[in-house]
Structure formats: C-alpha cells, structure tokens
Amino acid sequence: MYLSKNPFTGIVEKEFEVISNEQLQTQLELSQQAFNSWKNTPYSTRSKLLFKMADLLEERSEQYGRLISTEMGKPIKQSVGEVEKCAWVCRFYAESGAEFLNASILESTAVESQLIYEPMGTIFAVMPWNFPFWQVFRFIAPCIMAGNVGLLKHASNVPQCAKAIEQIFIDADALKGLFQNLFINHQQVELVIASPIVKAVTMTGSNKTGSIIASLAGKYTKKTVLELGGSDAFIVFDDADMHSALQQALLSRFLNSGQSCIAAKRFIVHESIADEFVTNFQSLIENLVKGNPLDTETFIGPLVNEIAMNELEAQVTTSISLGAKCLVGGEICEFMRSVYEPTLLYNVPLESPAWTDELFGPVAVVCFFDSDEEAIAMANDSHFGLGASIWTADMDKAAWISQQLQVGTVAINGMVKTEPGLPFGGTNQSGYGKELGALGMHEFMNIKTVSYF
C-alpha cells in the first residue's frame, strides 16, 4: 500500500494499491518498446521535451510545491524552490546534453579511434521522500537526454508526487512508456532488477536500503549508482567570516527540517572562536519559526513520520546521557507533536550517536579543535563521505584541507549543495558513482571504443 499521509495533520489524503506482477510485466514491456524508439530520436527532439517539461514545472511550481509540503512536510517556500530547481536541471541537459554526448578521438595504433556514448536502455530508479521531485528529475533529465528511458519506484509515502511527475511527461506529450511510475512492493523490486529489460539501477536513500539494492543488482549483474547517507563536516577556522559561516551553517543544517543527506551535521569549530560561534548559533536556532509547512513563515516543519521522530529522539537522548551538552531543543515540540525542536548539542562525545550516526532531523552538533590536523582527523572520523564545508580566509590552506578530506564534494566558504552542472556523489558508506554534470549522464551509457584500421 502507498499511503499519502500529511505528516503535520496526520490525515490520510490518498491511498494507492500495489500493482500485480502481470501489470508490472506490461509496464516493463512498454518501457522496452519506448526505448527501441527513443534511442533513435535526434538530440533536438529530446531537448524539446526537456524544455517543455521545464516550462510545465515553472508554471505549476506553486501547485507542486503545495503537494510536496502536504505529502512529506517540507516548508512551502522550500518546496516551491525544489520544483523550480527541477526546471533548472531539465533546461541544463536540454542545452548542454548533446555536447556531453559528442564522440572524442583517442590516440592509438589504429588510423583513428573514437570513444562514443550510446544509451543503455531502461534505467530503474529507487528514490526517497525527502526531495520527492528533485531526486527524480536529477536522474531522469540526463537519462532521457542520453536516449535512455526510466522506471521509478518512489518512496511509499509520496505517491501523489510520483503520480504528478508521471503526469508531467504525459502533459508534455512524451513518448508513451518513456517514464513510468511503478507502485510496487519490496518483493517486486527484485523482479524489476532481474528483468533483462532493465539495464542499470540508481538509488538514493539509506545505507540499509542501498546495501539491499546493490546486492540485488550484483546478483543480476546490473550497474548501480548509489547516493546514501551523510554526516557532513562543517569546519570553521579562526579567520573565517563569522557572519557568513553562521548564516550558511543555519541553512545547511536546518533546511528541510534537517532531513537531508548533504546537510552539514557536524560543526567542527576552532576553539579560539568557540564561544562566539556557539552563542550566535544558538541565538539563530532559537529564532527559527516552527509550524505548519503550508505557512510561508515556517522554516521548521514536521518530521516525515513517527518512526523518524522516535529514532531522532533516541539518538539525541542517548547522546546527552553519554555527556553531550544541550543548549537548545533536545525534545519533541510540546504543542506540535509532529515537530522536533531545533536542537544544538556541543561537547559531543565522539562515541555517541550524535557523532557516529546520521541525524536526520533538526539537530546541530558542535565540537572544537585546536590544530589543522585535528580538524582533518575529526572531519574524517566518520564512515560516511558525502560532503564537507571549509571556512577560512586562507585559500591555500583551504585547498590543502580539501585534499585531505575523504568526501565527494567540498564547498569552500559556502554550503554543500547540488546543481545541474556539478558531478555529485560520495565515497565510503555514502555510496558510489556520480549524478549530474557530464559524468552523471555518462554513468548510464555504454561507453564504446571504435577503432578504424
């Protein structure tokens, strides 16, 4: 069952039944038929579709933003921004995708050798609820520009978002079967991956789910790209622009009510500025507006469900029992039981859940360092490796520090974020492979060498 339940009100908006195996097979076959046609379309046809979808996303940004906020609880301004970002990625690949697909000449013993890019076929995406439009479009935009087709298994709590995305393709007059939403259960996921029609799998979500998907893909020899959890470090040196660092720290940690893989979660601050940073950070956190995600003034909305709330509460409670100090928050909001109070923990023991685990909610963790080497060691003291931020006026030091961090993305004097032209992906337990940019498009292509002798 796919259940659309408003996390703020607790009201079930809609329910959707899981499809039968027979229906699933029909959709798989339609996907293959679509690929047989789509792979031969000119780049101009693919670009035209992406431009049209971008227009629809922009025209309906308020409508879709409200749907996101109602279904998973993101504050409405952020939801509308997410939809607008989807239009951006569609336009980016419409404008630049053809260039990414150009053949290149390689030096060889042949008269000429070329590297060419060919579409693989049907790509299966397993996507999460926290960015229910963006996660899908950052996969599907390069996918269809490359000549592939897509199948989506979305999170079971955002079925209306999944249906809305599928409808965008219909309204844009896309080829039937080019993109299909699948209301399938966990057992049927293996049927999709096992199908010879499906050539590769992309997945964003938890490490536990990623491990399962990767195991299934390995069983059937299918390529995967995984973007998993993160516990990003946000390193603030003593020469940093304090005002900018604090403003970006607040955004990075508390956007989407803290429910983001790439959010800064561990704030590693030079001890000489520790008091100033913590005092001002606490003040900013205390002034965050909590409430109904459909209210334009709201910055902190509900957590996605009770399970997430209970897990976060247990992580914070355990960390405090182990010695972490709580300056603000640290509990469920008394008058809005679906909202977790924005929280600031400091002097967190490095063996506590607040340091070792991914906190998927509005909880900031601050620790202090004395030397550059200590900051690097603390930042790398994680089994994740998604991103990190470095704050300093010394660009030589920033460049050197960035090379020492075991992560996929580094932002210097800025927050880690994704955008269409920049390849994005993690290392260690944060996954593998790249999304976005030219590399993201090439992940799901047959990169073929052709030599003329």
Chain centroid offset of residue 401 CA: 25
Structure tokens at 378: 């603390």
- Residue 322 phi, psi (nearest 5): -90, -5
Contacts of 143 (CB under 8 A, 6+ apart): 123, 149, 150, 444
Residue the block writes with tokens 């697909």? 101
Of 60, 46, 29, the closest CA to residue 93 belongs to 46
Active site residues: 227, 261
Structure tokens at 428: 């260690």
For strands 12-16 and 2-5, give the pairing: antiparallel
Please report, as a single letter, which amino acid is at residue 6: N
Of 23, 38, 41, the closest CA to residue 176 belongs to 38
| CA pair distance 360, 342, nearest whole angstrom | 12
